[in-house]
Amino acid sequence: MAVRGLLKGFGGGEAVRTETRVIPTDDTTRRLQVLDDYERTGISWIWATDDEDRLIYFSPSAGDHLENGIDQLLDEQLPDLFEIDKLNSDRSDRPLSFQLKARNKITDLPVRHIKEATFSMKRERWWSLSGHPKFSADGKFLGYRGSAKDVTEAYHRQREDSHLAEYDSLTGLANRHRITRKLENTLSAYKSSKRSCALMMLDLDKFKQVNDTMGHQAGDEMLRQVSERLVAILGEKGEIGRLGGDEFQVMLPDLDDRGILGDLADKVIQMLSSPYQIEGKRAIIGASVGISVAPYDGIEAEEVIHAADLALYAAKNSGRGTYRFYSVDLMDVEEERDLLLDDLRKALVTEQLELHYQPVVRTKDHAIVGFEALMRWDHPERGSVSPAVFIPVAESTDLINQLGQWALRRACEDALKWPESVRVAVNVSARQFTNKGFPAVVTQVLAETGIAPDRLELELTETVFMGDSEITSATFKTLKSLGVRLALDDFGTGYSSLSYLRNAPFDKIKVDKSFVDSCTQKDENSAKIITAIIGLSDALGMEVTVEGVEAFDQYRLVCDKGAKYIQGWIFSKARPQADILADIANGGYRIEPAGPDTYRPERRSVFRRIGVIHENHRYDAVMRDLSQTGARIEGLMGVPAGTGIVLDLGGGQLVVCTVRRSKDAVIGVEFEIPLASDGAGGLVTRHRISPYALAAAGMPLAALPPGNYPLSPGDPDKPAGTPQFLQVTVQRS
C-alpha cells in the first residue's frame, strides 16, 4: 500500500513506534486500509516533506489532476512547485518559502502549481494546502505532514466575488473601498519607514453634458476610455481608483517631487482633454486635479484625502482644466471666492474695471497693427487684483458673460478713436463662447458702436472645444458671417491643436509665451516648435503672432524663424487708453524695440516675510521678487557675494541658494534647484523637509509650524550661534 510505504519511509516496521506507546500490528494495518480508502475518494490528499522541504509523498489519486502524474512532484522542494495568490491573499503576502522556513502552521492556503507540468483542464487549477511542522523528541525538524484538496471551482468563484467587491465593474479600476484601504495600509506602513506618498484627486469637467446630450451609454463608454488613458499614463506609477461618477483617485507611492507631480498632472489633463470618439461622434471633456502629499499634508489617510479634495476644489474654482497642490491657505478658499465674487459684481457696476491695451507690432517696419485688450481691476482695499485671480472666479459663474460683454463693448468704443488700420483683440472665455446668446451680443455691439467687423478680433483658447460641438460649430459659422476675425490663443499648449485648426475658421494663431520664455535656452525644443508653428500658419494662410517677447535674444531668434508679428514687453506693456491716444496724437504709429539683451525668467513682485539661515543662525528678512531660479531679498547687510545661504519659505520649504549680488541691505540669490509651479501661477519648492525630521528635532509630528525649521535633526537647546550679518527691519512700501 502507498501509505504503508510512506510509513516505512518514516522508519516504521512491523509496528510504528511513537513517543508514548507501541501500536499493535493489527491497528496499523487497519489504519493503513482506512487511509488508502480515504485517499481514493479524492476528497483530499496527504502529503509530506523532509527536513529540506522536499516533497517525499503525495497521494497517488492527486495524479488524476496532473498530466504527468505524481512523479513530477516527488523529490522537488515545495516552494518550487507551488505559489500563493499574492494579489488576493488577505492573510499574508509572504511567499511560501518564507512560511516554511519559519516553520509556521499552514491552514487552507490556496496555492497554484508552477512547475512545467500541464494541467488536464485549460483553466489554471488551485489546491488548498494545510500542514504542521513535525519535530523529533530532541526538537529536530523532520519535515511537514499535511493534506491538500482541489478547490479550483470554489476558488475561482471566490476570486470573482472578491473582484466584484474590490473593483469597479464599469472600468475595471479599483473601487472606493479598495483604493481607500490601499491608501490606509500604505500610509500606515510608510510611517515606520518615513516614506512619502502622493495622492491625486481627479474630476472630469463637462462630463455631465456628455451624459445629458448623448445618453448614459455614451457616458459609460467615455468613462471606460478615460480609465484606459489614466492607466496608460499612470498605471506603472501607482494605483488608480474610480470613486464613483466622474471622480477618480490616484495613489503614487514614494513620490513627493512637486515638479514631477505637476508635470504628471499636466499630462493627465492634456490627455483627458483630447477628443473622444463615442458612438461615431466626437466628444470633448476636460479634467481638474488636486494633489496632496503625505506626510507633509497629512499623516493619516483621512487627512491626505481631505487635503487633495480641497486642492481639487481650488483647481475647479480657478477655471478648471488645471491642477493645484494643497496648501494651508486653501482652507478658506470657498469663503474667499464668495467675497471676491461680491466685490467683482460691485466693481462692474462702480466702474472699478478698465481695459489696458498691449500693441501687436509688425516686424518689418515696427508699425502697430493692433492692440490686445486686457482687463485690469484696481480694488479700493485689495489694490491691484490680477486677472489670473478674478477671471477664473468669474468663469465659475454667469458673471463672466457680463464681464465679457462689458469688455467687448468698451474695447470697440476705444478702438474707434484709433487709426482705422488698427485692430482690437478681445479675449473670449469658453463659457462666453458656448453661450447661445454670444453671437447676438457680438452683433449688437457691432451695430451700436459702428466699428468695422474686420477690426474686431476675438481671441479663443482650445477650451472652447470642450463644449457642445454642434453649438461650437454654429457659433463659428455665425461669427464668420458677421465678418469678425478669430484667433487661436495659447497655441501649442493644448493636446490636439492641429485638429482644431482643421475644423475651425481661424484667421490667426498666437504662439504661447511659454515657448518664447525657453526658446533661447540650451537643450530646449521651443525654438523648433516656434519654427514649426510659423511654417504651419504660412501653409494654412493664417497670420501668426508671437507673444511674450521681452529681450533682444528672443527677438532676434523669432525674427530669424520668420515671425511677422510680435506682441511683448520688448515693444510695450499693456497701457491705459489715455496713454495710447497720447501716443497716436504724437504720431506714434510705430514703436522701436527696447529691452534687455538676454531674457531672465520672470520675477514676481511679492512682499513675503521669510527666514534666512546661514551656518547656525537664522535671520528674519523680506522677499521682494521671486522667480523660478532666484529672488531679491531685503533686510540683511554685509552679506558677501558667493555666500551660501538657505531660505526658509515656511511649510517645510527650504531653498538652498548662493548670493550673486549684494548692495546695502539688498541681496540677489540664485537657487540651487529651480522652483516648481503650484498650478495657480505661484511657485513652490520641489521637496519639503519631512515632518518626521521635524519630530526628531523636537517639533510636533501632526502639524507643521510656520518657519524656523532646522536643516537636520539636532539638539533644539543648542545655542543659535553668533550672527555674522546685520539684520534690519523692512516695512511694506
Q: How far, in Å, CA of 710 to CA of 51, rounded? A: 55
Q: Look at residue 706 in the predicted model and tell me its pLDDT.
A: 42
Place 696 in a pLDDT band, splitting at 50, 70 and 90: low
Domain boundaries, given as residue ranges, for the chain: 42-150, 167-326, 334-585, 604-727
- In this prediction, residues 675-682 reach a mean pLDDT of 81
pLDDT tens digits for range 612-626? 888 878 888 998 888
Nearest 5°: the CA angle 671, 673, 678 is: 100
167-326, what's its fold?
Answer: Alpha-Beta Plaits (3.30.70)
Place 260 in a pLDDT band, splitting at 50, 70 and 90: very high
Kindly tell me if the per-residue pLDDT of 549 is higher than 50: yes
Report helix angle 301-317 to 176-193, nearest 10: 120
Q: Look at residue 681 in the predicted model and tell me its pLDDT.
A: 72
Q: Which CATH number fits domain 334-585: 3.40.50.300, 3.40.50.1360, 3.40.50.1370, 3.20.20.450?
A: 3.20.20.450
Residue type, 664: D
Kindly tell me if the per-residue pLDDT of 597 is higher than 90: no
Kindly tell me if the per-residue pLDDT of 201 is higher than 60: yes
Q: Look at residue 164 in the predicted model and tell me its pLDDT.
A: 63
Place 119 in a pLDDT band, splitting at 50, 70 and 90: very low
- In this prediction, residues 251-264 reach a mean pLDDT of 93
Query: pLDDT > 90: what percent of the chain?
Result: 38
Place 344 in a pLDDT band, splitting at 50, 70 and 90: very high
Q: Look at residue 273 in the predicted model and tell me its pLDDT.
A: 87
Whether the Cβ atoms of residue 500 and residue 462 lie closer than 8 Å to each other: yes
Whether the Cβ atoms of residue 293 and residue 260 lie closer than 8 Å to each other: no
Superfamily (CATH) of domain 42-150 = PAS domain (3.30.450.20)
Kindly tell me if the per-residue pLDDT of 436 is higher than 80: yes
Give residue 698's region: left, alpha or beta (phi > 0; psi -120 to 50).
left
Q: Look at residue 376 in the predicted model and tell me its pLDDT.
A: 94
Q: Is the dihedral of CA 154, 160, 161, 163 positive or negative?
A: positive
Q: How far, in Å, CA of 9 to CA of 217, rounded? A: 66
Q: Look at residue 31 in the predicted model and tell me its pLDDT.
A: 78
Long-range contacts of 100-106 (CB under 8 A, 24+ apart): 100/53, 100/144, 103/133, 103/141, 104/133, 105/131, 105/132, 105/133, 106/130, 106/131, 106/132, 106/144, 106/146
| Separation of first and last alpha carbons in the chain | 100
Whether the Cβ atoms of residue 272 and residue 203 lie closer than 8 Å to each other: no
Residue bearing cell 464599469: 170
The DSSP-derived string for 505-536 is --SEEEE-HHHHHTTTSTT-SHHHHHHHHHHH
Which three-class secondary structure string do you get for 103-121? CCCEEEEEEEECCCCCCCC
604-727 has which CATH code? 2.40.10.220
Q: Look at residue 179 in the predicted model and tell me its pLDDT.
A: 92
Q: Look at residue 702 in the predicted model and tell me its pLDDT.
A: 40
pLDDT tens digits for range 476-529? 999 999 999 999 988 766 544 566 677 678 999 999 888 888 888 766 688 888
Give residue 513's region: left, alpha or beta (phi > 0; psi -120 to 50).
alpha
Query: pLDDT > 70: what percent of the chain?
Result: 84
Whether the Cβ atoms of residue 571 and residue 590 lie closer than 8 Å to each other: no
Q: Look at residue 523 in the predicted model and tell me its pLDDT.
A: 60
